[in-house]
Chains A and B, each alone.
Chain A
Amino acid sequence: MAVLTAVVGIGQTKYESKRLDVSMPGLVREAAERALADAGCSWRDIDAVIIGKAPDLFEGVMMPELFLNDAVGGAYKPMLRVHTAGSVGGSTGIVAASMVQSGIHDRVLCVAYEKQSESNATWALSISLPFSLASIAGAGGYFAPLIRGYIRRSGAPEDTGIRVAVKDRQNALRNPLAHLQMKDISFEMVANSPMLWDPIRHLETCPSSDGACAMVMEKESLASRRSGKVAWIHATEMRSEPTMFSGRDQVMPQATLDNAKNLYKKAGITKPREELDCAEIYVPFSWFEPMWMEGMLITERNQGWKMTYEGATAFDGDFPVNMSGGVLSSNPIGASGLIRFAEAARQVRGTADQHQIDGAKKALGHAYGGGSQYFSTWIVGSQKP
């Protein structure tokens, strides 16, 4: 019933720790203008604008989409603001796609951003309200025990995370937009970096970045007429589960397993590792690569670390992951999910420049958030489904 939809334009800013050269409107406009230029569209060709970002306290503006709407050409158009914790970038892409898939709009623009330098994310995540349980742990402190749980269950070698961190930083050297450009990155360098939240070392964590990502999506009848390459949206899926439920397995949440199963079903995929050419996975702490290889049913339970260890997820491996450098190399939180989705689309369009996987035809974009409880994913292809 849904209208077939394609990504026809992608724009990203340079990711940096502090983009002092632009305001928030300047930042989102930079990404939006690049997406429009890529799509060969003007502002007036856009029917609706979908804006996504993580908590408002990250910049200190309540519902900032209201003041940003004008900067991304949203004046006198429908505008929605999505917020689904860390998965928000992915959810923003999915909501934007649904505006076209439902037949309501012909062409929409989505923009996701974070300008972390405007405020302090660790402060924003550490507010303690009266009479409520607060972990005051930041993200690293929350996820470290889950990683420990994974290591115990899987028997993964302790240096698996280090290998992911080195690999993603090496990939980032192929991506001029990536925040971290560590030319001398090595196993020893990561291994010797300070332990922040055991077993997460400093160089196994994501940076704090300013940046925005934008995409233009349009319906089949318009996208089919284009001479340039587009990324067809084969399937999207979202799943959430509650925080305070004693029956949940936080190491391998049911929501990720349900999400993966339904995503592949919708996309007609039965053997994801063989049928997908590459993936951009939300890995804010190195260990989440092997964990989500299992969570996305790419490999068997407790075997994810082997993919990393054997080099399967490396740029020249049989299932490359995070060719752009991933969240470990650039993390404007609210945008990070949409960047994963956009980078998957770049691969199947063949426009990923130095980090292009030759002949990529189907790619997975993935985001997660909250306490490993929000998941949003999509599969895009160079051909119509």
Chain B
Amino acid sequence: MREVAVVGFTQSPSVRREPNRNEIEILIPVIQALREQTGLSSKDFDFICSGSSDYLAGQSFAFVSGLDAVGAWPPVCESHVEMDGAWALYEAWVKIQMGYADTALVYGFGKPSMGDLPLTMALQLDPYMMMPLWPDAISIAGLQARHCIESGVLRPEDMAAAAVRDRANAKSNPNAQVKGDFSVKQLLAEPFLVNPLRKSDCAPISDGASAIVLAAGDRARKLRDRPAWIRGIEHICEPMDFGVRDLGRSRSTEIAARKAGVSNDKIDVAELSAPFTHQEILVERALGLSQKTKVNPSGGALAGNPMMAVGLSRIGESASRIWSGEADRAVAHATSGPCLQQNLVCVLEGN
């Protein structure tokens, strides 16, 4: 395996609605800032990979204009996944592993505010058996949360505590959308949004973009004093059908964590992108984190949730804590699909 590190990371602030900019206009300054941060230009990237969703943009081939933000001239080696940017990063990592590239630019972007996101997500379900019922994303997550509570997997107090932690952590994150000091009692007094979920159990709807630069070996050492080395990265997808899955745990995260070697050593920092409090708890358990791990120092997805970029941002947030020396070993997580169907786990180290 080649040594590959995260050496650059930029993101836009997560905002509920970008009134004046389209997806590409949100992306352009993020890519520009990354160029300035790393001193690299488009010509320096051997490979470029992005993640986005046509359904968020409301049109086909929405990612094509992403090339305009990159400034892909002369023509570039480039690919795209209809997935969170974290999976685009995985594809770029593979290309570096096969010796096809030494450096790669990865980006993810989404502007869900253009539509009704929870309802749009109903279109992600089985189109023959489930989608005709139009179950929105919050209701689907609510069923999972209800199952977790009724089967004794977790309590509403645990869910509120996750929100309290993330919102408090987000106070130091200028890009976070939801932040502040709250108590469990305070959040539990909120009315239900979709029983048993309260608004504080749900990640916000966010417009935003983020971008990362990967580099191999000595190239990485030249770009950063302390690169964030990817020591393990794995992703696993479960079947979608809720009837064949144990919704009280995240088996795909467990498998990915084992293969990525999460438990090989202590984890200082974990950045999770679970969009609901009960899912954050399930992911935390699946990763097998101890009390010593600082979870979501940025606030995680519950503090800012730019779909298609939120998972990639978790890798970037973890890497930036390695660069600063705040952490020696970090784990980043990304998810996709209803009820944590697909999960990616990435282990980063400073040494």
Q: Taking the complex as formed, is A144 at the interface, i.e. its CB lies under 8 A from any CB of chain B?
A: no
Q: Are B65's CB and A243's CB within 8 A?
A: yes
Of B60, B83, B123, B255, chain A has the most CB atoms within 10 Å of the CB of B60
Interface size in chain B (residues, C-beta < 8 A):
65
Select which of B1, B60, B70, B238 is within 8 A of A124 by beta carbon: B60
Q: Taking the complex as formed, is A238 at the interface, i.e. its CB lies under 8 A from any CB of chain B?
A: yes
Q: Are A129's CB and B59's CB within 8 A?
A: yes
Q: Are B342's CB and A241's CB within 8 A?
A: no
Q: Are A77's CB and B236's CB within 8 A?
A: yes
With known contacts A70-B240, A124-B60, A370-B61, A80–B83 Cβ distance under 8 A: yes
Q: What are the residues of chain B within 8 A of A58 when measuring CB–CB?
A: 60
Q: Of B94-102, B184-192, B292-300, B324-332, which binds chain A?
A: B94-102
Select which of A65, A76, A98 is within 8 A of B252 by beta carbon: A76
Q: How far is A84 from B64 in the complex, measured between Cα atoms in Å?
A: 8
Q: Are B78's CB and A78's CB within 8 A?
A: no
Least CB distance from A228 to B in Å reads 26
Least CB distance from B241 to A in Å reads 7
With known contacts A67-B125, A103-B98, A83–B82 Cβ distance under 8 A: yes
Q: Taking the complex as formed, is B79 at the interface, i.e. its CB lies under 8 A from any CB of chain A?
A: yes
**Which residue in chain A gives the minimum CB-CB distance to B93?**
A102
Q: Taking the complex as formed, is A81 at the interface, i.e. its CB lies under 8 A from any CB of chain B?
A: yes
With known contacts A24-B127, A77-B237, A243-B65, A1–B71 Cβ distance under 8 A: no
Interface size in chain A (residues, C-beta < 8 A):
67
Q: What are the residues of chain A within 8 A of B57 when measuring CB–CB?
A: 129
Q: What are the residues of chain B within 8 A of A84 when measuring CB–CB?
A: 78-80
CB contact list, B57-95 vs A, under 8 A = 57-61, 63-65, 67-68, 70-83, 87, 90-91, 94-95
CB contact list, A268-306 vs B, under 8 A = none
Q: What are the residues of chain A within 8 A of B98 when measuring CB–CB?
A: 1-3, 98, 101-103
Q: Taking the complex as formed, is A60 at the interface, i.e. its CB lies under 8 A from any CB of chain B?
A: yes
Q: What are the residues of chain B within 8 A of A118 when measuring CB–CB?
A: 127
Q: How far is A57 from B61 in the complex, measured between Cα atoms in Å?
A: 10
With known contacts A57-B60, A62-B121, A82–B79 Cβ distance under 8 A: yes
Select which of B59, B63, B124, B252 is within 8 A of A63 by beta carbon: B124
Q: How far is A108 from B92 in the complex, measured between Cα atoms in Å?
A: 18
With known contacts A70-B239, A81-B81, A62–B60 Cβ distance under 8 A: no
Q: Taking the complex as formed, is B341 at the interface, i.e. its CB lies under 8 A from any CB of chain A?
A: yes
With contacts defined as CB atoms under 8 Å apart, how many contacts are there between chain A and chain B in the complex?
188
Q: Taking the complex as formed, is B10 at the interface, i.e. its CB lies under 8 A from any CB of chain A?
A: no
Q: Are A241's CB and B55's CB within 8 A?
A: no
With known contacts A2-B100, A24-B127, A76–B236 Cβ distance under 8 A: yes
Query: Chain A 36-78, CB within 8 Å of chain B: the 1/0 string?
Result: 0000000000000000001111111111111101100011111
CB contact list, B156-214 vs A, under 8 A = none
Q: Taking the complex as formed, is A242 at the interface, i.e. its CB lies under 8 A from any CB of chain B?
A: yes
Q: Taking the complex as formed, is B235 at the interface, i.e. its CB lies under 8 A from any CB of chain A?
A: yes
Q: How far is A2 from B101 in the complex, measured between Cα atoms in Å?
A: 11
With known contacts A258-B75, A370-B61, A83–B81 Cβ distance under 8 A: yes
Q: Are B61's CB and A241's CB within 8 A?
A: no
Q: What are the residues of chain A within 8 A of B73 when measuring CB–CB?
A: 241-242, 245, 247-248
A-B interface, 6 closest residue pairs, ranked by CB to CB distance from nearest = A1-B99, A55-B60, A255-B75, A70-B239, A102-B98, A102-B97
Given contacts A67-B127, A69-B239, 17 further A-B contacts (CB under 8 A): A2-B100, A56-B54, A61-B124, A66-B124, A66-B237, A66-B338, A67-B124, A70-B240, A77-B236, A81-B81, A83-B80, A91-B79, A103-B97, A118-B127, A124-B60, A239-B76, A243-B65
6 contacts between A and B (CB under 8 A): A56-B54, A63-B53, A76-B236, A238-B79, A241-B75, A242-B72
